[in-house]
Chains A and B, each alone.
Chain A
Amino acid sequence: MTGSLAALLLATPMILFLLAFFYAPLAYAVAYSVEAGGGGLLSAYIEVLTRPEYYGVVAASAVNALIAAGISTLLAAPAAYYATNMASPRMRPLILVVLVAPFWVDVLLRSLSLKAILYLVDVREGYLAMMLGLVYEYLPIAVITGYVAFSGAPQRLVEAARTLGATPLQALISVLLPIAAPWLAAGAVIIFLMALTDYVVPGLLGGTQGFTVGTLLYYLILSGDRWDLGSALTSLLTIATVAGTAVAFKRIYEVAARA
């Protein structure tokens, strides 16, 4: 028994580190934001939620993030399906590596490169460039989530449906999608959260349109000196993230429990 207690002590450096530099800062930001506004408790929240220059940015940013998450998930899905279920088994890991590796190239570098290409076809900084940048940035992630989604839907099931007389389209709609959809949706939630707070792509490709929650936070905290509003927005994001991932993964558990 003492042995296992001693073993548990080994975990203390990591636990203490996470408590000190991950959880304590989050708690501090929430506590700070509650009191920070000039006009009493929660006044920073009221200001963020009622002034159009703040909630407008958040809303526009959410719409853009939603579009980017949807498009990248849809674009990646066929390739992810091919990589998991149709390519020859020996090729599968290779295809996955090829499609996912660009994710590891620094976002800044990829955005710069994309900017260069877009200049060649005469697309300048602006809304279109920013959206293309977001989709380009998150495609590899969408491939990973698509891979996870489709590896749970074995080709056998599709083949069984085909043998029983379903057309390829019917097999896709009635067999494949019900299995893969919750996973694809959960992946889209993750991409949405990343795109919502993106800072690099809107900054490099968005031009004057390049304003997201990420850039808003940058201006509030690092150049605008409105720490009260920045901390309120940060705390709202923390809550939204926890809620969003909880809902997305709850659905997965439900579907998994039924299956």
Chain B
Amino acid sequence: MRRLLAIYTIILAMLLYAPILVMAIQSFNKSPYIGSWEGFTLTWYKVLASDEEAVQALLNSLYVAAASSGLSVGMALLAGMAVRRRRSLTLVDLLTYPPLVLPEIVEAVSLLLFLAALGAPFGALTVIIGHTAFNVAYAYIVVAPSLKEATRYEEAARTLGASPLRVAATITLRLAAPGLVSAAMLTLLLSFTDFIKTLFTTGPGFETLPLLLWNRARRPGLRLESSHSALAALATVMTLATLLVAAAYTMVAIRRGASLERGNTIQR
């Protein structure tokens, strides 16, 4: 039973990674045809680096992700500070749940109708607003628990004579740091890979990497079965970047979970 489940898990993992690996291998293939290997090449990466549209889209994506992540973590940190001494569920908690469960396209359509009614100029700013509307909720659920956790130790530090500034710097921020880092990585990822919200809130001329990929993947004549290798190269770069951040994020999250558990054991 146990061995059977282990084998099953391994097969499942292989199935999950097979498409990603094929894409990565294709990006180094001299032949533009998937399935016929003609030798190693970096041509597709050179094609990609000299593709001004793709480079601009990358810069746009990074800009949106950084702005949205910064805004979200900042607002979530403040909100977390505001309610961290309350035991029960607060209004702030309740407001952050719906953005987590509502289908993204519903949010996106509503925001589009709303912004259009306001006459907002669609572009980078509206995309950042759109991403932040879900990012801030994710940031809050990650940041708030670590801030609550810190209150216990602040009392002790204050009783022992530490100044408020010193408590904030050495206790609060230090204990909240893993939560803040997790929230920053999570929101960066969510924004960087977001497609639907971006599609509905962008304006003419502002394209992020997912939008560029979508447009090119759908463009006739550039289908994946043939000369799609520059796309494969782009996909590989993006995949590698996201997987690295995702692995780091998950590791931080798990380690934080473990240390919280340990903290609770000590308390008991």
Contacts and interface: CB of A to CB of B under 8 A. Distances in A.
Contacts of A103: 246
B109 A109 contact: no
Given A11-B82, A13-B75, A119-B225, A83 B9 contact: yes
Contact of B13 (A14, A98, A217, A227): A98
A199 B196 contact: yes
Interface of B is mostly: helix
Interface residues of A, number: 83
B113 interface: yes
Contacts of A18: 95-96, 99, 133, 136-137
A107 B105 contact: no
Contacts of B254: 93, 96-97
Interface residues of B, number: 85
Interface of A is mostly: helix
Contacts of B95: 14-15, 18-19, 23
B224 A29 contact: no
Interface string A98-115: 111111111111101111
Contact of B195 (A7, A24, A108, A217): A108
Contacts of B6: 82, 86-87
Contact of A13 (B12, B79, B98, B117): B79
Contact of B103 (A21, A136, A222, A237): A237
Interface of A: 4, 7-11, 13-15, 17-19, 21-26, 28-29, 32, 75-76, 78-79, 81-83, 86-87, 93, 95-110, 112-117, 119-120, 136, 139-140, 168, 190, 193-194, 196-197, 199-200, 203-204, 213-214, 217-218, 221-222, 227, 230-231, 234, 237-238, 241-242, 245
